[in-house]
Amino acid sequence: MAYEYAWVHVKFTIPLALLLSVVSYPILNRVHFFQVGSIVVVAFVATLPWDAYLIRRGVWTYPPDAVIGPCLLGVPAEELFFFVVQTYITSLVYILFSKPLLHVVYLQNQRNPPRWIKQAKLAGQLLLGALVLLGERLVRRGGSGTYLGLILVWAPVFALVTWTVAGRFILSLPWPATTLPILLPTVFLWLVDELALGRGTWSIESGTKLGLCLFGALDIEEATFFLVTNTLIVFGMATFDQYLAVIYAFPDLFPTTPRAPTPLMLVQSRLADPSTYDMERVDGIIDAVNWLERKSRSFYMASAAFSGRLRIDLILLYSFCRVADDLVDDHTSSEDEVCAWTSKLGRFLRLRYGQKDIPHDEIGTKDAVLPWPAEIDTYVNGNFPSFARPALKYLPTNLLPCGPLLSLLRGFEMDAKFDVSDQKGVTKFPIENEHALRRYAECVAGTVGELCVSLIIHHCEPDMDEDRMSKLKSAANTMGIALQYVNIARDVEVDAAVGRVYLPTTWLGFEGLTPEMVLKNPSRLAVERLRWLLLRKALELYSGARPAMQLLPSAARGPMIAAVETYMEIGRVMLERDAFQQNQGRATVPTARRLSTALRALVLC
């Protein structure tokens, strides 16, 4: 059939490229476009002369009617398009598998890597070097080994370069993040190639190939070509991610990070001496990711939608909030012990902010982290357990107002009052009415919303006007309260098990209940009605704040909406009840529903 080669693209490669574009669109950002575009250009420039040479050597030929006609250096347009579409497909598959990863975490082996990484990197270099030498021998000998030899003197050279530059980083990544983006497109292209060879769309001249087939009509040389070129693409994408990770991880090396790091920054990242990396900061970020992964599926999944230094700072903020909450509120502390923790945290914050709240217009003037003076180091080491120290040290205080952080501690202090029995030995319940509930939620969650917005403004739109900033912070505060109401509604049983009742005492009274009765039986129908009342109030607050999320900078809008929506989904499934899944007393949202909620938020934001 005429134009057979073009039909191969129309039937196979273009549909897959379009499908991958649609699937990955919600998670792509400006950096990805720059990254994929760069890899495509490099692949095109590196492949064109090699391809032209093979055609001129007669290694492969095309029936005259199989190609449309336009050529560049004798390479048909369809072949040129193949360089682009293959690189595009493999790059998108790599992005889909690597987006959940925080690449900064995998810088940990840049200095003093484990023995197996050193050995594996050396083995890879030796293997690639041996392949180049083998290719040279095959080319020199000519004949049936020519095609394979020409592949091996070309692709492994580029692979050797990227492997030497990024081998440790690539080996540190979870193996599915690199092997699957290599194998899946390779198998797809093997099948396409098998069909094309079988139909005579293109053919490999018999005098230049070994005559061995991987399967069907797929020559071993063709199979090798797709395997090594997809390996090259993935190595190239991973190398790019390594440079980006260095830029995002070290504010002292890169004080500001534009939304798409410049080529100069990438070169500076490449030339940066790993001995200058603040590896203690990398360890602190790893620690924060572990806290997030361990403590909140909602925010852990949502964090993957963010990118760059904003993602790191949100995780560091989460880590501080989580550690502070766990330090203060471990459900067994007395009020004195709780207040001791909150006063230590308060003193830490005042030391960190230099005894005063940094005026807002000074916050975020630069990314370079505030110095960590010996005085604070001594105080933290002398007053906090080792597990808490990284969260305190790496809280991005240079980008955050101190006020909301101090209010967060006030909220934790309210938790402590649950554990206090008055003179008659009667446990007090501080959430006496709806006002106390709102005040508590505002302290522990409304403040967190404001802090998230501070980070978003700094990283995405530092010159935002005051009016819009004020609207965003007010809405974030309200949204935080909504999420906290969902949290309370979800955890009624869990909280009762540790002597906590966050449903207002006045609400309980309307149902003829007391907090003590709720502690005895938190699953009674009357409590269910109050849980529903709280969820409906959460949805009211959410509805009031949700429109303001459209004011968020575009780079963070989708991810932030995804974070909020996946959390609010907990409340929605509770209201639906049929999708409600009790799991050790806590409602959980089925992962598929959580994912679809996040994707819908990212697409429709």
Ligand X SMILES: CC(C)=CCC/C(C)=C/CC/C(C)=C/CC/C(C)=C/[C@@H]1[C@@H](COP(=O)(O)OP(=O)(O)O)[C@]1(C)CC/C=C(\C)CC/C=C(\C)CCC=C(C)C
* Three-state helix/strand/coil letters over 406-421: HHHHHHHHHHHHHHCE
For 586, other C-beta atoms within 10 Å of its C-beta total: 14
- Among 535, 540, 544, residue whose Cα is nearest residue 576: 535
- Among 62, 59, 63, residue whose Cα is nearest residue 51: 59
- x/- string (CB under 6 A) for ligand X, residues 91-130? ----------------------------------------
Beta strands, E only, 125-230: 203-204, 213-215, 218-219
Choices 140-148, 151-159, 532-540, 541-549; region in contact with ligand X by CB under 6 A: 541-549
With respect to ligand X, which residue has the nearer C-beta, 31 or 328?
328
Choices 44-52, 312-320, 388-396, 511-519; region in contact with ligand X by CB under 6 A: 312-320
Minimum CB separation from ligand X for residue 475, in Å? 4
Does residue number 552 form part of the binding site for ligand X (CB under 6 A)?
yes
Does residue number 549 form part of the binding site for ligand X (CB under 6 A)?
yes
With respect to ligand X, which residue has the nearer C-beta, 238 or 545?
545
With respect to ligand X, which residue has the nearer C-beta, 199 or 389?
389
Single out the residue of 40, 131, 218, 302 in contact with ligand X (rule: CB under 6 A): 302
Does residue number 298 form part of the binding site for ligand X (CB under 6 A)?
yes
What secondary structure letter does DSSP report for 499?
A: T
Are residues 573 and 579 in contact, defined by beta-carbon separation less than 8 angstroms?
A: yes
How many Å apart are CA 145 and CA 147, to the nearest integer?
6
Compute the C-alpha angle 191/193/198, nearest 5°. Answer: 100
Both tokens assigned to 348: 């830490």
Minimum CB separation from ligand X for residue 528, in Å? 20
Choices 205-213, 319-327, 364-372, 430-438; region in contact with ligand X by CB under 6 A: 319-327
Does residue number 317 form part of the binding site for ligand X (CB under 6 A)?
yes
- x/- string (CB under 6 A) for ligand X, residues 436-475? --------xx--xx--xx------------------x--x
Does residue number 479 form part of the binding site for ligand X (CB under 6 A)?
yes
Quick one: CA dihedral 200, 205, 210, 211, positive or negative?
A: positive
462-471 long-range Cβ contacts below 8 angstroms, 24+ apart: 462/364, 464/553, 468/551, 471/548, 471/551
Minimum CB separation from ligand X for residue 17, in Å? 30
Q: How many chain residues are in contact with ligand X, going by CB under 6 A?
A: 34
How many Å apart are CA 363 and CA 462, to the nearest integer?
10
Helix or strand holding residue 297 (H, E):
helix 297-303
Single out the residue of 209, 309, 322, 594 in contact with ligand X (rule: CB under 6 A): 322
Single out the residue of 545, 573, 598, 602 in contact with ligand X (rule: CB under 6 A): 545
Are residues 257 and 117 in contact, defined by beta-carbon separation less than 8 angstroms?
A: no
With respect to ligand X, which residue has the nearer C-beta, 20 or 324?
324
**Residues 6+ positions from 177 with CB-CB distance below 8 Å:** 94, 97, 98, 101
Binding to ligand X (CB under 6 A): which residues in 484-513? 484, 487
Compute the C-alpha angle 461/462/463, nearest 5°. Answer: 90
With respect to ligand X, which residue has the nearer C-beta, 244 or 302?
302
Minimum CB separation from ligand X for residue 112, in Å? 29
Choices 168-176, 296-304, 352-360, 363-371; region in contact with ligand X by CB under 6 A: 296-304
Does residue number 269 form part of the binding site for ligand X (CB under 6 A)?
no
With respect to ligand X, which residue has the nearer C-beta, 95 or 564?
564
Binding to ligand X (CB under 6 A): which residues in 555-584? 560, 563-564
The residue number with the shortest CB distance to ligand X is 449
- Among 256, 416, 264, 242, residue whose Cα is nearest residue 327: 416
Both tokens assigned to 93: 């598959």
**Residues 6+ positions from 471 with CB-CB distance below 8 Å:** 548, 551
Give the distance, in angstroms, between the CA of residue 362 and the centroid of all CA atoms in the same chain: 29
Does residue number 204 form part of the binding site for ligand X (CB under 6 A)?
no
Choices 59-67, 178-186, 297-305, 339-347; region in contact with ligand X by CB under 6 A: 297-305
- Among 563, 571, 582, residue whose Cα is nearest residue 537: 571
Minimum CB separation from ligand X for residue 552, in Å? 6
Quick one: CA dihedral 491, 493, 498, 500, positive or negative?
A: positive
Binding to ligand X (CB under 6 A): which residues in 353-412? none
Does residue number 303 form part of the binding site for ligand X (CB under 6 A)?
yes
Q: Which residues bind ligand X (CB under 6 A)?
A: 295-296, 298-299, 302-303, 314-315, 317-318, 321-322, 325, 444-445, 448-449, 452-453, 472, 475-476, 479-480, 483-484, 487, 545, 548-549, 552, 560, 563-564
